[in-house]
Structure formats: structure tokens, C-alpha cells
Chains A and B, each alone.
Chain A
Amino acid sequence: MTVARPTRTRKDSAPPKSGKKAKTTKGNASAGVPSGRGATGHRTDLLESMLRIRRFEERCVELYSAAKIRGFVHLYIGEEAVAVGVNEALTPEDAVVSTYREHGHALARGITAEAVMAEMYGRTTGCSGGRGGSMHLFDASRRFYGGNAIVAGGLPLAAGLALADLMRGQDHVTCCFFGDGAFAEGEFHETANLAALWKLPLLLVCENNLYAMGTALERHEAQTDLAMRAASYGMVAWAVDGMDVEAVEHAARRAVEGIRTGTGPHFLELRTYRFRAHSMYDPDRYRHKAEVERWKERDPIGLLTDRMRENGELGDKELARIEQRITDEIDHAVEAAEQAPEEPVEHLLHHVTSSSAEAVS
């Protein structure tokens, strides 16, 4: 069992400072940790993936303000390194179970911006046919199982997906994302116990963004060292700097390799921060602006961009090209969603049971 202790307490909710990172995996991503592919092109891919999520969600804010999209919308801005870094360690055959803050997971998993945007619009071309919306994105073809709005509700489900793979002798990993808020739910602890007991091929990814909705970690957890608590179930657990996409990728690769060798579930506590409020409805009164600003200094996109610039891997022209490509992609997604058909009301009762199902959109 490996318990990597965080190198500092976080009572002040301060971001990890450079040179004194919370990342406690062996090796150091910023010092050129091999990230599987490791090449300049790979860093560019990571950057583009994070930027796609960021720009997609920024557009969602505009569209929400314009009342084009509705419902609860929980943004991932600030946490992009987690979705992108972890996804790099997974293959298309692996399964992903996500949370209600899952636009980033879905896009990193390869669900197109067009399909996610159409879902935000509630259109038939959405990845859930318009029945799920922001919180319930699904894509069976990519083994992407939601989109779960009950904070620990995806964990047992993920254990079952992993169990099925294990029972059939398949070399797949199921990755389950959840937040620090889910740590207080019994379902996390039931699942951790079951997964460790049965040595399930399960990667538990805790996105510790320090707030369960509006309640700070130290106000909702008696013991805030989450990796240590997870380790108590008899699984490998690390705390990782969730703002450093390469550190995330490195830790996720190590964990997934361990899981594939049959050592059972692994737990990653990714220390991250959401720059925006819990949801579009949230006035964000529970935290100081200064705290948010401190964390923004460690913006995962900024961190990687700076690293690439310092190494001469990224110039203004290249960055502009990436930005333009993403802008075009999102423009196209919005345009397509605007023009996509709405589901006829006659289809209301489709898919309640399989016998009430018509053709899948």
C-alpha cells in the first residue's frame, strides 16, 4: 500500500505553490516526467484538449445567460487538467463513469462538442437524445456511463462495470470520477470496501476541488486527507497536483498500469479548484475572491502554456491556430444545435422500457 502524504495542510484553502506542490507521486512532471508519449506534440494535444473544454464551457455561460440552455449547469473551468490527464491513461475499451460536472470528462473522452452542445440544447442530436441535459451525458459507444447527479451514485455502478470486466477476464479498467463531496456519502465507502475486497479493476478519481457544493472541505470532512482515508481500505492511493495535467497523466498511467496487473482498485486524489461557482445559480458567497484569484495563478492551461513557452514548444502563432480551430469547432456545434430538430412530443414515452423504445436517435 502506498500512501503519499500531502506535503502541506490546506486549512487556508491556498493553492499549491510552485516548487512546493501537493503532488506526491514519485517523479515530477514539470521536470520532464515521461508521460507515455512525452513528445512536444503530445503536450500540444493536452493543451488543445484542455482549451476545448474551457472554451466550450465559456460558450455555455453565454448561452445560459441568453436562455438558450437551461437546467442546472455545473462548470468544470479550472479542473480541465483532471479530465484530460486521466483520459490520456485510458483506452477506448476502458469504461468511464462521471459526475454531474462532466462536460470536461465527456469532451476528453472524445464525445464531440457538437453532440454535447446539442444535448445542452435538449435536441435529438444530443448524446443523450435531449433527455439528459448538462448533468446526464452518455455515450455507450465510448463506454461513457454518465452523467450522475447523485454525488456518489456512480461509484457502485462503476464497481459493477469493473466486476463484469473482471468476471469475463477482460483487461479493461473502469474509471470513476467523483468529487470531495462524495467522500461523505456511504456509497463511496461501500464501494471502496467492495472494490478492494474483490480486487476490482477500478480507478477511483476524486476531484478534490475543496468544496462540496458551497461547503468547504474542512467543514464537511472530519479528516481532510482523503488519499490516506482511501488507503485505509487496502488500496493504493495517491494525492496529486490536479492543476498540472502532466502530473495527472503520469499518476493516472501508473495507477492504470497497476490496475491492469491485477492489484485491484487505485485511488487518486486530484487537488484542484473550480474557478467558477458550483452552478449557474450559485452566487458564490462562501469563498473569498482572493482565494479564487490565488488559485487562478495555477490555472492548468496557464501552467502548461508557460511550460511549453519556456521550452520553446509553443509560439503565439501555434496557440492562435489552436484557439481558432476550437472556436470554429464550437461555432459549428452551436450552429448545429440551433438547427437540430427537437424531439416530437409523441416520443415522450419512448425508452421508458425497452418495449417502449423506438429507434435510438
Chain B
Amino acid sequence: MGAGETQEAKTTYREAMREALREALRADDRVFLMGEDVGRYGGCFGVSLGLLEEFGPERVRDTPLSESAFVGAGIGAALAGLRPIVEIMTVNFSLLALDQILNNAATLLHMSCGQLPVPLVIRMTTGAGRQLAAQHSHSLEGWYAHIPGIRVLAPATLEDARHMLAPALADPDPVLIFEHGSLYNVSGELLPLTEPVDLDHATIRRPGTDISLITYGGSLPKALAAADELSAEGINAEVIDLRTLRPLDGAAITASVARTHRAVVIDEAWRTGSLAAEVSARIAEESFYDLDAPVERVCSAEVPMPYARRLEEAALPQTADIVAAAHRTVD
């Protein structure tokens, strides 16, 4: 927790998420939080700090390092009528629970012909930028977005961190929430909620007319910074935050490209087979005749994420890469 978090009117992404958890635990006694280090430790990233003291060890439940068992237990508890929130430390570790997520959580409703809904929320961090090397740094949310039967969210702002959890818990189906590790310390004023957060639609974070920068999660701040730079050059970029990676809001993408006629897709995952590939394909299918230039993609280098800072920075999409890609479509 940074010192800035105690300042008045300012909050961090971490605090916003914690407040969302606190609200959920207070609002519904079927809700409980379960995962590695969520209790005594206060959460691997400090998100659940203080919740054990407030809600007790039954509802803020430390688990063994057994991703498959505690994710599966979350599924079973959801089947039995509870509303578990399961925290997995990083998306890399979620692979140990992939069987439970794909073969059970995503599948039981359909295989049982609607008899067994799984109202489960799974939260995990994703992404690189903290020199954690290849087994803590990957962006695999696009893999999960491939799977029918689950919803995949990527809150990128303080407001989404604060307000996406409640509708996720209200969803009768499994919801995966990906929190980019570099966002936890982002600090700012939490804007009041003007309308309920909608988990079906993308949103325009910055309107524009010349080019669409389409992104989500940890890449949103970089895309907004790129839009600022482009603006100084007289290029008016629209920034689309996908927010929900599944179901993907294709209509929002199509509408934006219809306005701007150019698109850059920014995704911290590897380019090959990425969510950026899916978005690009949809633009090719739906918006081909609106395009004035080929779609550009800014993704991570095709390499296991290195530890060395210089190499990690080079592997990741950076603001300068987004600006350069925008220039390629505009020039």
C-alpha cells in the first residue's frame, strides 16, 4: 500500500477493489473470499488487507497452494448455492486450475441442460512490467476469452475496479476478472457511479475522429498516453476500452472504425492467436469497406517475459510503439 492511499479523496485501484470486496461481503452472506494468502497476509497484492479481521476466517479463507482444489471447491460451493470469490495469485498459476475452469465451470451449465449454473467469480492478476520474469508475467486472458460459458472482465480504471464486482457476482455464470498487476498502485479520484456498470459493452475512454486505439486492462493508460501525444500532432485518436473480453462487444468496435476508418489494436499478450488477432479479424469481417489503412497491432514480443528491465520493457507494448503504429496507419 502506498502512502498516497491515505490522502483524502484519492484512492488506488487496489483500494477500489478492496472496497468492492468489502461491499460484496457485507451485502450477501452467501459471498466468501477464498485463495492463497487472502487472509492473514492480506492478499498477495494487498487487495484483501483487513478483510479477515472484519469478516472472519470462515468468509476470508486462506487456502493451500492448490489451485485446482480451491478453484474446484469454488465451483462446488457455487453449485450448492453460495457465491464464492476465488483469488488466484497470477494467471500463470491459474493454469493449474485450467481443468476446473474449462471442463467444469464453463461446461456444467450446458452439459446439464441448464440444471447446474455456476455463479462463481475468479479474480487474478495478469500482465508484466514488474520484472517478475516468465512465470509471473504473462497475459493469458485471451485464452480464457476463447472459452464459451464464461465471462471475462478486464477492469482498467478505478471505477471499473470498484464497480464491476457486484454485477459479476450477480451473473449466474462464471466470471473471470483479470487485474493487471501494474494497475494496483494507480491512484486518483474515484468518480461517482452515474449508472450501473454494464458487463456487456465496451466504452469510449476518449472520443476521437481520426483513428481507433482499441485496448483493455493494463494497456489502457498507455493507449491514453499515446492519444495525448497524437493529439499534440493534430491526430485525434479515439480510445476504446473493451472492458469485457468475452462476450466481446463487436458492435462498439465496428461503430468506432466506422467513425475513424483506422484501427490500432493494443494487447499485452503475444501477437499470435491473441485477443488482438480476434479483434483484427472482426474488423476485417465487419468493417473492411470502412478502412482507409490496414489494421495495426501492438502486442508483446513473442518471447517468454524476461527479467532484465531493459529486455522486459522492449518486450512489452509501449506508448511509443502505439504512436508509431498509429503513424503507420495515418501517414
Contact = CB atoms under 8 A, between A and B. Distances in A.
Q: Do A and B come from one complex?
A: yes
B13 interface: no
A353 interface: yes
Nearest to B107: A136
Nearest to B117: A354
Contact of A156 (B58, B75, B108, B173): B75
Interface residues of A, number: 47
Nearest to B73: A160
Interface in B54-98: 58, 63-64, 66, 68-82, 84
Interface in A140-159: 140, 145-150, 153, 155-159
A117 to B, nearest CB: 16
Interface in B101-117: 103-104, 108-117
A59 B69 CA distance: 37
B73 A159 contact: yes
Contacts, number: 150
B100 interface: yes
A162 interface: yes
B99 interface: yes
Contact of B76 (A131, A163, A352): A163
Max chain A CB contacts within 10 Å: which of B70, B80, B148, B171?
B80
Contacts of A17: none
A156 B78 contact: no
Given A158-B76, A159-B76, A128 B82 contact: no
B32 interface: yes
A357 interface: yes
Contacts of B71: 156
A164 B68 contact: no
B111 A128 contact: yes
A193 B80 contact: no
Interface string A70-106: 0000000000000000000000000101000000000
B172 interface: yes
B149 interface: yes
B73 A132 contact: no
A280 to B, nearest CB: 20
Contact of A193 (B32, B58, B69, B74): B69
Given A153-B99, A352-B109, A167 B82 contact: yes
Contacts of B81: 164, 168
Nearest to B171: A354
Contact of A352 (B64, B70, B79, B149): B149
A186 interface: yes
A181 B114 CA distance: 30
B109 A351 contact: yes
B66 A190 contact: yes
Contact of B32 (A128, A139, A167, A351): A167
Nearest to A347: B113
Contact of A163 (B66, B77, B111, B173): B77
A196 to B, nearest CB: 11
Interface in B130-176: 148-149, 151, 171-173
A187 interface: yes
A194 B74 CA distance: 12
Max chain B CB contacts within 10 Å: which of A128, A131, A160, A187?
A160
Nearest to B78: A160
A95 B80 contact: yes
Contacts of A158: 76
A88 B62 CA distance: 35
Contacts of A95: 80
Contacts of A128: 111-113, 115
Contacts of A272: none
A161 B120 CA distance: 13
B79 A351 contact: no
B113 A361 contact: yes
B104 A157 contact: yes
25 contacts: A128-B112, A129-B114, A131-B113, A136-B112, A138-B108, A147-B111, A153-B100, A153-B103, A156-B70, A156-B71, A160-B78, A163-B73, A168-B82, A186-B68, A191-B69, A193-B64, A193-B66, A193-B69, A194-B64, A194-B73, A197-B64, A351-B109, A352-B110, A352-B148, A353-B148
Given A160-B84, A164-B79, A357-B114, 15 more contacts: A129-B112, A138-B108, A138-B116, A155-B72, A156-B71, A157-B76, A158-B76, A160-B74, A161-B79, A161-B80, A163-B77, A190-B64, A190-B68, A197-B64, A354-B114
Interface of A: 95, 97, 128-132, 136, 138-140, 145-150, 153, 155-165, 167-168, 174, 186-187, 190-191, 193-194, 197, 350-354, 357, 360-361
